[in-house]
């Protein structure tokens, strides 16, 4: 008996069956393969990591709400595109910048053997103008005795500094290594500053305390208008170290004279105020102080009528126990 189907019909039928089988496999394939959980988890992690930057905000130099006082986990964007933890930058979003005390000792009792410090009023005026422009509550005290200096530091340390960002003190006087002169005698520098340490002044705990000292620290001349010298010829839940967050900017290195021009003021205060005025809106404090060092070291040389006192140099000495970067508000 002869078949009703030709070979061509059988081939066509086979192709149709194969196509149907392939279509069925395509439909069943998603159900047969397992879900890739690791890929999904990785994608979610990436999403979370990118979204973490939403909580970061630029707070420096701007006021913040009371709810944002804990800055431990926030971050600040920098020009490099990286982020710097706020734990490395002092907060400046307090209602006040703080107090700036200027002690300007020009005249001294005869029994001290100290000369009149001509030119110091220029320094005091420069400092007052500079720190007033930065928002500080500037207080100037002239020709203070030792007891008056000690009492003033005690009184200021006992004020409420909880709403202040920092504290500044400028001392313009005669001095020697480790001591500062009042008009009637001398006192150890560490005694004058002791009341601002963390265990005595809780309102400034963890906040920058900046001391700028224009005074001699000895009688050595650095060989490196009329110039005189300031000197005696002879003579929170975590614990914070009580010595932390201090900066002592001395006009000269230990053991050396510090120079002052009778008309223009001291080399150090001229340079300090100039560099703060030029760079306070963009540079960190230690960068500013490096420029102060540079200016004093390279731009000044003594020209004195006293024999052996001309052609001398000076270099400031910056001692920092600051634990964070300090930026003046812009």
Angle at 156 between CA 133 and CA 145, to 5 degrees: 100
pLDDT tens for 81-122 read 334 456 899 999 999 999 999 999 999 999 999 999 999 999
Kindly give the residue spans of alpha helices, DSSP state H, lying in the chain: 7-32, 37-51, 120-133, 146-157, 189-193, 267-279, 285-299
Angle at 100 between CA 94 and CA 106, to 5 degrees: 175
Residues 6 or more apart whose Cβ sits within 8 Å of residue 253: 217, 222, 315, 316, 317
Question: How many whole angstroms separate alpha carbon 252 and alpha carbon 221?
Answer: 11
What's the sign of the alpha-carbon dihedral 133, 139, 143, 146? Answer: negative
Residues 6 or more apart whose Cβ sits within 8 Å of residue 93: 59, 60, 61, 62, 63, 64, 165
Residues 6 or more apart whose Cβ sits within 8 Å of residue 222: 252, 253, 256, 257, 312, 313, 314, 315
104, β-bridge pairs: 142, 172
98: left (phi over 0), alpha (psi -120 to 50) or beta: left
Greater pLDDT, 240 or 145: 145
The helix/strand/coil state of 199 is: coil
In a domain, 267, yes or no: yes
Q: Which region among 44-53, 119-128, 262-271, 293-302 has the lowest average model confidence (pLDDT)?
A: 44-53
Q: What integer best gives the mean pLDDT of the chain? A: 81
Here the tokens at position 58 are 């630029």
Question: How many whole angstroms separate alpha carbon 122 and alpha carbon 266?
Answer: 8
Residue 242 pLDDT: 84
Question: How many whole angstroms separate alpha carbon 209 and alpha carbon 243?
Answer: 10
The helix/strand/coil state of 261 is: strand
pLDDT tens for 158-177 read 999 999 999 999 999 999 99
**DSSP string of 85-121, one letter each residue:** EGGGB----SSEEEEEEEEE-----GGGTPPP-TTHH
Rounded to two decimals, the pTM is: 0.72
Tallying the residues shown for the chain, one arrives at: 330
Residues marked active site are found at 174, 216
* CB-CB neighbours of 310 under 10 Å: 12
φ, ψ for residue 21, nearest 5 deg: -65, -40
In a domain, 56, yes or no: no
Q: How far is CA 213 from CA 5, 59, 253, in A?
A: 114, 31, 11
Residue 11 pLDDT: 77
Greater pLDDT, 279 or 74: 279
In a domain, 162, yes or no: yes
Question: Which CATH number characterizes residue 127's domain?
Answer: 3.40.50.1460
- The range of the structural domain enclosing residue 179 comes to 98-320
In a domain, 218, yes or no: yes
In a domain, 326, yes or no: no
In a domain, 227, yes or no: yes
The helix/strand/coil state of 138 is: strand
Number of domains composing the chain: 1
In a domain, 81, yes or no: no
For the segment 44-60, the average pLDDT, to the nearest whole number, is 28
Closest CA to 228 of 68, 117, 91, 113: 117
In a domain, 188, yes or no: yes
């Amino acid at each position: 008996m002869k078949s009703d189907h030709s070979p061509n019909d059988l081939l066509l039928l086979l192709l149709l069956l194969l196509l149907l089988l392939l279509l069925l496999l395509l439909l069943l394939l998603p159900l047969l393969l397992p879900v890739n959980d690791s890929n999904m988890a990785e994608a979610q992690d990436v999403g979370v990591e990118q979204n973490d930057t939403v909580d970061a905000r630029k707070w420096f130099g701007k006021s913040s709400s009371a709810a944002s006082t804990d800055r431990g986990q926030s971050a600040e964007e920098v020009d490099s595109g990286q982020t710097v933890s706020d734990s490395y930058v002092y907060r400046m979003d307090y209602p006040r910048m703080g107090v700036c005390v200027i002690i300007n000792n020009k005249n001294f009792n005869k029994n001290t053997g100290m000369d009149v410090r001509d030119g110091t009023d220029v320094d005091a005026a420069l400092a007052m103008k500079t720190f007033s422009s930065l928002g500080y509550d500037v207080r100037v005290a002239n020709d203070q005795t030792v007891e008056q200096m000690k009492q003033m530091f005690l009184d200021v340390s006992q004020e409420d500094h909880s709403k202040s960002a920092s504290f500044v003190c400028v001392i313009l006087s005669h001095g020697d290594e480790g001591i500062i002169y009042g008009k009637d005698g001398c006192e150890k520098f560490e005694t004058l500053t002791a009341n601002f340490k963390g265990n005595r002044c809780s309102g400034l705990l963890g906040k920058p305390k900046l001391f700028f000292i224009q005074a001699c620290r000895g009688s050595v001349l650095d060989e490196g208008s009329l110039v005189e010298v300031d000197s005696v010829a002879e003579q929170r839940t975590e614990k914070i170290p009580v010595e932390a967050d201090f900066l002592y900017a001395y006009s000269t290195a230990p053991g050396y004279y510090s120079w002052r021009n009778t008309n223009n003021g001291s080399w150090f205060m001229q340079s300090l105020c100039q560099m703060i005025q030029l760079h306070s809106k963009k540079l960190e404090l230690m960068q500013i102080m490096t420029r102060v060092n540079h200016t004093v070291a390279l731009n000044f040389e003594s020209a004195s009528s006293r024999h052996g006192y001309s052609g001398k140099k000076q270099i400031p000495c910056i001692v920092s126990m600051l634990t964070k970067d300090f930026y003046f508000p812009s």
